[in-house]
Amino acid sequence: MDKLISIKEARIKKGLSINDLSKALKLDLEIIRLLDDGLKLPKKYKAYQSTYKNSIYRYLGYEVKYKSSKTNKSIDYSKFSVIYFLLLLVFTVLFLLSINIYNKFNNQISIKKIYKDQVYTDILNISNQYDLYELSHDDFINNLAPLKRANYSQNLSIFAKPNKTIFYKIQNNIKNTLQFGEITKSNELILDLDNDFFIDLSNINNIDKIIYKGIEIRQNKELNSYLLNFDFKNLETLL
């Protein structure tokens, strides 16, 4: 068949419990439970997720057909708006400027000294043109609501809405480095909670969901704003 039903549906049709599958396949009960709920496995099992799912389907009597992952990750770039181009340009300039400062002063100047330079001002000016405003950290936290457990990972994951892009800058306070990139529907941002980061996000309204320590978090209302120097450990107050 071209489209498989969920593991839970297939299991129920066979009249089997999660414990039955765990014993029959000799897999950890929690792994079966996560796959049964359609959730991602913890990081140490992530590489084996497809193998586990295929084994379960085959045991339940379903044929698994493999498809190219390139098809699932295709992105329609024609739907990106003008703000995508402008923000990409600004973050590119910021990235090049940070490299130039690093090389010039041989890593002797703190990264914090490039925060409010001309590039920083340009980002604020562009944001104002598109009715974006800087959101305080307290307002951001107050607009979030924890919903349910999605997995058992010890990571922070940020997901974008379909056909939306979020640009980010991450300051690693331990390694004293900067990282730039973008979050899309098929390319979520995943951060290890063992590190110490500050995060800038270009448009909070484009966030679909956040998963912090395995707990799914959603926004209560749309906020047409950006976030600067946010310490993701503040999300601990929601748990």
Q: What is the pLDDT of residues 102-115, one digit of tens each?
A: 776 655 544 444 44
Return d(Cα 183, Cα 206) in angstroms, integer: 9
Given a cut of 70, whether residue 35 has pLDDT beyond it is yes
Q: What is the pLDDT of residues 181-212, one digit of tens each?
A: 899 988 999 998 888 889 999 888 899 999 99
Given a cut of 50, whether residue 3 has pLDDT beyond it is yes
Element (DSSP H or E) covering residue 179 = strand 177-183
For the whole model, what pTM was predicted?
0.46
- What type of residue sits at position 22? S
The order of strands in the sheet holding 166-172 is: 133-134, 225-230, 197-201, 166-172, 177-183
Output the pLDDT for position 211.
92
Output the pLDDT for position 109.
42
